[in-house]
Structure 1
């Protein structure tokens, strides 16, 4: 299951909505929590339905600030417990596995003078002791001074109040992968500030239920906050099954489709069933190749943006970050225009039909000692257990293997051997 939380900083422009839709299609989260939508409920409902999320709850903005939306497309039964302009609290009841867990999308007060009220709110929500509980969102506060670079020094009392609130509610930070910060301000190195304001926290019951997860800080092209994506059940293996061939309507939008069908049909001299089999398998390979080629440029831009975000900021790099974001936005806009020019129809909204499997561990020690990922010599992330085991075995095998004894004559040349 995937859950995405993002302070989008306004969805009033159609271009921004299109870029959000493009990103959600790429990541395909089952649950989304959007902060600072700056929209009234009716309009926000239209935006999330456009993005493929017909189920959800929206909280209206207060003028040009605030606004929340929590939406889902899962096999779970969702019960809304309560909500306000600072949070949306729901219970997910899994039909397949028969368990329930609690998720609270949280938006801490941006104003320092209202921060204590946010922690009082968190205390008031701590009313289901035995239920697995995840709180995710923009807390607008740091846990540690190391979560901020440049700008005004953060008040120790502010951070201590946040830490105390989490401790009182028995909530722990669940960590992250990717760039360390989630919020950035300033396009020049002289005024650039970076902070980690967005995070997920959970109680021990949630840790025990969702032992295998990761939270990623994603690259983004709009908003001063980055999306955070929680993925659970990483080691689940969906049972493979034979997929029946289905002709996709989207194939007709490709100019080379007709020629590809004719080429495949004429390349076989057998019976009609034989030709149909050849055409079906050939079309799937053909379209997969087209999709892969289209994604290459976008993936390269996303990788470059990630490298720039991880690097030490300078005026040149901040300018390149802006240019890379513009290029990614142009790709999203170009795809929208592509489909609008060739198909005068709405996108079909596909639900997330993944099956979820969860295993629980008894102690926090097992959770903390779990190796989720290793980086190999090619700087590639290895996440699967078989790959991690092989890397560990190879490392220690090489560590204790003699690589050959060097010729000692070079060292001995400078030593006198007196005869006594």
Structure 2
């Protein structure tokens, strides 16, 4: 199975819908998470039919911004648990042979001063139900300055708060293949800026069950965000081999960790 996550920045443009249709036709994702569609449920229903998905849940927009939508196929067991303007939480039951796991489509608050509310929500979701958990979406935050190019500096406290919530929720970054930065402001010269705002994270229980999972970052067309495709090649059971070591750029924020790295 595979999961497509994309902040499409509006589906009112027919070219954006065409790009989405092309992605779905080429990658054949079982589940699709869309953010910032800026379409109400009735118009998104037409998009669902056009894409060929059986089910959909939509969190309607407030004003002219927002809207989260989750689409999935009939052969994918999905039980919607709860949702808000900033998340859709579901239980995934792929088949009777596989254990269910928690899925969260997440959208971080655009206002940095209110991002603490996003992290409180993430902590709340983490406490809701134990077991394997994967969270994907646009977090609207970076872990460290290495995930940013151009523009002015980033407040250290904002990055540390993001790193801290991932640690508190015991979520590991699943990495990526493809472009490093998932968003750009589409400007030129000294005004150009890009950041890694979109990602997938999961707890150890989920990583043990899906040790071959990989994230591929696609090309940005008709949006300032790149789409993410999470592919799950192996499900059920624990990985009997050795875990692959992954360096987390966010560790650089920890002074003691930096000292340890220099000594080794």
Common fold by TM > 0.5: yes
Question: Are 1:32 and 2:32 counterparts?
Answer: yes
Post-superposition offset of 1:128: 4.4
Structure 2 SS opposite 1:105: strand
Question: Are 1:193 and 2:71 counterparts?
Answer: no
Q: Which residue of 2 aligns with 1:57?
A: 57
Q: Which residue of 2 aligns with 1:91?
A: 91
For the residues of structure 1 that align with 2:224 and 2:185, how far apart are their CA atoms? 7
Q: Which residue of 2 aligns with 1:105?
A: 105
Task: Give ranges in structure 1 of 5+ residues lacking alignment.
Answer: 237-356, 371-420
Structure 1 SS opposite 2:89: strand
Question: Are 1:124 and 2:2 counterparts?
Answer: no
Indicate which of 223, 243, 254 corresponds to 1:367: 243
Q: Which residue of 1 aligns with 2:7?
A: 7
Is the CA contact (8 Å cut-off) linking 1:183 and 1:224 kept in structure 2?
yes
Task: Report which of the two has the higher share of strand.
Answer: 2
Instruction: Decide which moves more: 178-187 or 79-88.
Output: 178-187
Q: Which residue of 2 aligns with 1:41?
A: 41
Instruction: Decide which moves more: 138-147 or 18-27.
Output: 18-27
For the residues of structure 1 that align with 2:21 and 2:160, how far apart are their CA atoms? 38
Q: Which residue of 2 aligns with 1:20?
A: 20
Is the CA contact (8 Å cut-off) linking 2:136 and 2:200 kept in structure 1?
yes
State the number of aligned residues.
Answer: 246
Task: Report which of the two has the higher share of helix.
Answer: 1
Give a deviation string over 1:283-312, Cα, whole Å, max 9, x none. Answer: xxxxxxxxxxxxxxxxxxxxxxxxxxxxxx
Q: Which residue of 2 aligns with 1:159?
A: 159
Q: Which residue of 2 aligns with 1:316?
A: none
Task: Give ranges in structure 2 of 5+ residues lacking alignment.
Answer: 247-264
For the residues of structure 2 that align with 1:124 and 1:362, how far apart are their CA atoms? 32
TM-score normalised per structure 1: 0.56
Post-superposition offset of 1:191: 1.6
1:281-292 paired onto structure 2 within 5 Å: none
Could you list the structure 1 runs, at least 4 aligned residues long, displaced by more than 6 angstroms after superposition.
none
Higher RCO (CA < 8 A, seq sep 6+): 2
- Structure number with greater Rg is 1
For the residues of structure 1 that align with 2:183 and 2:74, how far apart are their CA atoms? 29
Q: CA RMSD in A?
A: 1.7
Q: Which residue of 2 aligns with 1:133?
A: 133
1:310-349 paired onto structure 2 within 5 Å: none
For the residues of structure 1 that align with 2:79 and 2:20, how far apart are their CA atoms? 26
For the residues of structure 1 that align with 2:46 and 2:84, how far apart are their CA atoms? 20
For the residues of structure 2 that align with 1:77 and 1:20, how far apart are their CA atoms? 23
For the residues of structure 1 that align with 2:155 and 2:243, how far apart are their CA atoms? 32
Is the CA contact (8 Å cut-off) linking 1:31 and 1:74 kept in structure 2?
no
TM-score normalised per structure 2: 0.88
